Structure formats: C-alpha cells, structure tokens
Structure 1
Amino acid sequence: MAKRITLKEGDLVSLKLRDDLYTLGQMTKHSVMRFYDVKSEDGTWPDLVLDNSMILFSGFVGKVITQRLAVEKLTCTTSLILSDHERYWLRPHVNFEGGFPFRGADLIDIGTDCAADYSLVPALKEDLTLSKNRDVIEKYELTNMWGDEDLSDRLCRYFDTGVNRDDLKFEVFPGLWTDRESLRPLTRRLPVPLR
C-alpha cells in the first residue's frame, strides 16, 4: 500500500512521472500545485534549492495527485512566494451548442493571496478571442482540474520535448495551435477520440 502524503501550503513533494523521471510539485493555495523545471532520474534531490528554478505552470489538483504520483514529501528551503501563475486563470465557458463541453474562456484574477473562489470572481476580460487575446490564452492556465495521468503526460512531454502546453486548449480555443498532428498522441487531458 502506498504511503499517505498530506500537503499544506508551501509543502514540496517529489512526483514520480515514470520509472526514470521525477519532478517536483509545491502546494500553493486552495488545491493549486506549482510545477518546476527540475527533474531527477531516480527521485533523489541533493542540494534542493528552487530559488532559481523556472516555474513551468500551476494547476488545480485533487488528492489523486498525492495518492498516485507523490512518492516523498521534501524539506523546502525556499519560501513560497505566490506569483501570476497562481493569481490569473482562464475560466472556460460551458458549451451549450453541442460538441466539446467547453468553448472559450474569461480571464479571471483570484487575488494576490490567491484566495478567491474562481467560479465566483468577476472576469477581468470576458470572451477571450484568438484575434485579440492570443498572448493571454497561451500564457495562463485553465481552471479545469488535473488528474494524475494527464498531469504526468504533460510533464513527461515537457521533459522529453520541451513542449509545455495544456492540450485541452486545442478544443477550448480551436485554431490556437496548428501542430496538433505532429504532437499525436496528445495527452490524456483530452478524451480518446481527440488525442
């Protein structure tokens, strides 16, 4: 039986993505985990200092991440400073016209302390479009929760190829990227027929 790891704000954890690839996740606020551009082949982290490590992205996660990917809680010597990765988000619109369940999004701000409920805050920018807001759409993450398999897929792809994107945006913002075919199979963030 896997050991149970519970995380609170600022806690750092080693995540096993596959047998030869580990990375780090850090809990920030309200089910948001931050992921860094650091990796290990065996899950050992000597001289762990994150001060100069690039943040890849942050995402809303559930217990499944700690249950299935987390292998060890680590001592963090770097103080947690919240960033735009945890403050600004893309809140997708529910698509009532059929097809994919989400289409388009609003840019939201959950505050400098990242404590506001993302479902209730007013939009900073409504109805983002590729023609006017491409940079915002590419920069910020969707509020949709991450599961263990889709998170692992995204992080493995980043460490293998350097591509750091949420494949869900292919459907939420059709036409955002034109390299879909060259990336197949896409991550488990999308249902099987769309991968």
Structure 2
Amino acid sequence: MSHSVSKVSKARFIVLGAAGALLAAIAAIAVVVYSGLYNVAADIPHTKPVFWLIETMRERSVAVRATDLAVPGDLDNADRIVSGAGQYADMCAGCHLAPGMKRTEMSRGLYPRAPELRRGSDLSPAEEFWVVKHGIKATGMPAWGVTHSDEMLWDVVAFLRKLPELSPEQYQALVKEAPTHDEIMQDQPKQKMEADDGHGGHAH
C-alpha cells in the first residue's frame, strides 16, 4: 500500500512541477511582451533563437500548404516567361532586385531582407506560387492573389525559374517584350476589398 501511495505522490510531484514550469514560462513571456523589452525595430536583427523559430515556422507553414498544389506542366513556355517578366519588373524588382540592378532604398530597409531571386531559390514551384499568391505576414511580402489570377501568378513562377539564367541584357529584353501593367490587369476580375480583409482579427 505504501509503495502505491509513493508512486502516486511521485506522479503528482512531476505533474505539479511541469505545471509550475509552464506557468513560469508563460509569466516570463508575458513580462517580455508587456514590458516592451523585445525590440521590434526593423534595423535591429532578431536574436538567433527568435530568428530560427520564425524561419522554421515560415518554412514549414509554406511547405505544408503547398504540398497538394497542382503545378502546370508548361512553366518553360516562352509566353508565360515573358508575361512573368513584366509582372516581376512591376511588382517584385523593387524588393527582390533583378540582374544588373543595384539594391534599392526599399530593399535596404526591409527586415527580414527580401531574397535576391536572381540568385535562385530553394523553394519548389508550388512553394513559390503559394508565397506569391498568399504573401508572408510581417515581412513586407504582399498577397498578390488578392488582385491577380492564379494563371498570372503561375506566369510569375515560370519567370522565377528562368531568372537565375538571365544576364542583365536578357532580363531587359524580356521586360520590354512583356505587356504593360495596364494591359496585364485589364482582364482581371475586380476584387471586392473589405475594409478589414486580412486585418480584422480573423485567424489564419
């Protein structure tokens, strides 16, 4: 009997200890949050543990949600690449730069720094599409799916796959060949933008 009581007491001690540690961790986090101790300024990098946590969470979130996307089989189509080049020049180059392009004021001020896509990407085509369509919270990466069709965004992905191979001259030639922004957008369905769309406290 005493042995049984001892085992119960030990289990209670472990549970109470774990609960105490959890409450202490929550209290410590609350102190950091409400004291303003953590510096959220974009010109001060994250600490290494915070950076690792955010990067890992972002990478896994994108990978999981892109798993079941059907990738078009014609991403090497020349028309897709040209269309994507025009969109990239209008929508992306200011932050992600382009062959022969120096860093812009906007790209210098972003944190986390926007990847220079002319150097290539570790993302799969499905992951690139998901990021372009849905954006990434608190990074400056917008959700282009709000205003652009999936077909147009796959054109951007097609161009991204080609981009690392391009010289500055080849890049400029593709952009000049591409339709203008107004031409690209004229056939897009008008989106009804609610005032609190994506910012009204809805969980995502």
The two structures have a TM-score, normalised by structure 2, of 0.21
The two structures have a TM-score, normalised by structure 1, of 0.22
Richer in strand (by share)? 1
Richer in helix (by share)? 2
Q: Which has the larger radius of gyration?
A: 2
